[in-house]
Structure 1
């Protein structure tokens, strides 16, 4: 069977590899887990509108063509498959969904098409996908994993903490298939959880020190009052 067309009159298919996995588009009538090939998923796209601000951009994922990625120095390996989900949109609702997606993905992403392999082994589907290519001004390229994790941990935007995006993506990928985990995402999530644990420990120590100081002040004040009354 030939691949279904993403821009056919009958149906419209969208591939989600980032937040679209756990936060799907509106008005879809089918959701299929699966994967695409020829790409690598990386947190190499700046986010000024959702997980960061223009002054302090966060980081979100984009797809990198594997042939280009192989020319770069990266600290993570990548499997041949990039897992995600495909959504089917009925023809009558395509214009509305495209408008929604163009707004949601406006920050450096452009429209591309790629074959999608359903996890159940059914026929390949031609899907539309939004990609932040290396030519767009929000593409930041490779970064040491620890520096990237620290950047994600401290970033915050209108859609919430950048770390929530990362951890939600990790969980969503783990739930798609037994082979859908992403080492790049997993390593960054592990580093961010460690940073969060360290930050919480520092906060607890600071709170404890403040409580002790306040108690000492209280005791000192009481002693002074008793001394005055003698």
Structure 2
């Protein structure tokens, strides 16, 4: 019996994924975006409003390999992703409808450079009601999902990984500080940051 050929996964096309995402947006409405990592402290886009928000069924996790923004192919770093389970507190941003087509391409280049995330529209609870917002999630089946990493691996990554936007450690620390300013205490993130090598080591 002739063995079946092994299928190699096709690379994902960021432009096609952006077009598909925008096709799911009502151009007569403003677009909401859920930020749970660097978007909280460095949005880098024009928005009309921001609100604290909470998503159920997903949680923030420093478990996605980064080979461009916070690491390299030779020394991958880590970035946050939304993984299934639990809940996540963050921020939603309202982008006015007439600005969406200008805001989304550079945002896509930042967040979807390798088309790793799965963009999803998620209900986000805010103090002024629930809004459906675009969020960048990650499948546990993705090759970019780290799975469970031992503590010494986090220490090594914090010490070594650097990409086009800086180090993994600076990214994680800035996210923690941004969350604290919002009154959000992410104990899992605080524990990981305690694993970072001391500056004078």
- Specify if TM > 0.5: yes
Look up the SS of the partner of 1:99 in the other structure. Answer: helix
Counterpart position of 1:109:
117
Matching residue within 93, 96, 101 for 2:102: 96
Alignment pair present for 1:181 and 2:185: yes
**Distance change in 2, residues 1:145/1:34 (3 Å):** farther
Partner of residue 142 from structure 1, selected from 128, 141, 148: 148
Q: Distance in 2 between matches of 1:62 and 1:149?
A: 19
> 1:22-70: per-residue Cα shift (whole Å, max 9, x none)?
011412111112221111211110011111011211011111111xxxx
| Superposition TM-score, scaled by structure 2 size | 0.81
Larger Rg: 1
**CA deviation digits over 1:55-106, x for unaligned, max 9?**
211011111111xxxxxxxxxxxxx431111010011111122212221112
Q: For the residues of structure 1 that align with 2:135 and 2:110, how far apart are their CA atoms?
A: 13
- Superposed displacement of residue 174, structure 1: 0.7
User: Equivalent residues in 2 for 1:193-212 (5 A)?
Assistant: 195-197=197-199, 200-201=200-201
Q: Is the 8 A contact 1:41 1:61 kept in 2?
A: yes
The offset of 1:135, in angstroms, is 3.0
Matched position secondary structure for 1:42? strand
RMSD across aligned C-alpha pairs, in angstroms? 1.6
Contact 2:75 2:160 survives alignment (8 Å): no
Gaps of 5+ in 1: 1-5, 67-79, 202-230
Query: Is 2:10 the partner of 1:7?
Result: no
Q: Which runs of 4+ in 1 moved over 6 A?
A: none
Query: Alpha-carbon deviations, 1:115-134, whole Å to 9, x = none?
Result: 1112xx32111100112222
Tell me the secondary structure at the aligned position of residue 173 of structure 1. Answer: helix
Q: Distance in 2 between matches of 1:53 and 1:110?
A: 21
SS of residue in 2 equivalent to 1:196: coil
Higher strand share: 2
- Corresponding residue for residue 31 of structure 1: 50
Structure 2 residue ranges without an equivalent (≥5): 1-23
Task: Please tell me whether the aligned partners of residues 113 and 129 of structure 1 are also in contact (alpha carbons under 8 angstroms).
Answer: yes
Contact 1:45-1:140 at 8 Å conserved across structures:
yes
Q: Deviation of residue 188 (structure 1)?
A: 0.9
Q: TM-score, normalised by structure 1?
A: 0.71
1:128 corresponds to 2:128: no
In terms of fraction of residues, the more helix-rich structure is 1
More displaced stretch, 146-155 vs 96-105 = 146-155
